Amino acid sequence: MIHIHEDDVGMRRLYPLAAGAEVARDLDEAAGAGAADQAPDGVGWTGVHVIRAPRDDYAAAGLTVHDADVALAAVLPRVRDFAATASGGFEGHDPYGSYEDDAYCYGGGADLFVKVEADGAKVGSIWFQVETQDPDRLAKLRAALVAVDRLVPSIVADYWLDRTGPVGDSAFLDDYLHELAIVDT
């Protein structure tokens, strides 16, 4: 079972390379909104930027859930039970939470996973979470991102770090994974 706080859903995403310019604009808007909407007391925000899905998504690129499943399961184990809730202690059932018992989620726990959201038989979106500095686990994440990139050339869009770049650009990917390794998780 992977159980996360709902605020972490979709903050680190993969998109087809074709969506790069649109995603970069949205990432810039999100960063600007984060600064502009900072609460006067410095705790929290007065507004929320909603991440916009680009026109060019994985379904439009023809990526099937089956192909993504085969590629990702070769790198990370599939975890079918997935939950995202607002309850801080994760006790009980959160009536506003999201619970899946047949998720397309790959990883070893809440500190590192890749989540595929299905749109029928096609992939609608892919997002991931990483909260580890372990080099072996980060290497697994790299392998998972590259596995998706081999199916459909892709970009990373990290709304926590305000970064985007192509998975196929090894210099970007090296630098991005290095940044993840030094971020205080």
Q: No. of H helices and E strands in the chain?
A: 5, 10
Greater model confidence, 14 or 23:
14
- All residues at 6 or more sequence positions from 7 whose CB lies less than 8 Å from its CB, including other chains: 86
Distance CA 64, CA 101 (A): 20
Contact indicator for 34, 50 with CB cutoff of 8 Å: no
Distance CA 10, CA 57 (A): 14
Q: Where are the alpha helices (DSSP H) in 48-110?
A: 58-61, 65-73
Residue-averaged pLDDT of the chain: 88
pLDDT tens-place string over residues 140-176: 999 999 999 999 999 999 989 999 999 999 999 999 9
User: pLDDT at position 96, please?
Assistant: 62
**Nearest-5° Cα angle at 53, 165 to 158:** 35
Q: Which among 11, 20, 43, 32 is positioned nearest to 160, based on CA atoms?
A: 11
pLDDT tens-place string over residues 97-133: 688 889 999 998 888 999 999 999 999 999 899 989 9
User: pLDDT at position 87, please?
Assistant: 65
The percentage of the chain sitting over the pLDDT mark of 70, rounded to a whole number, equals: 92
Show the tokens assigned to 127: 């997002």
pTM of the model: 0.86
pLDDT at residue 89 tops 60:
no
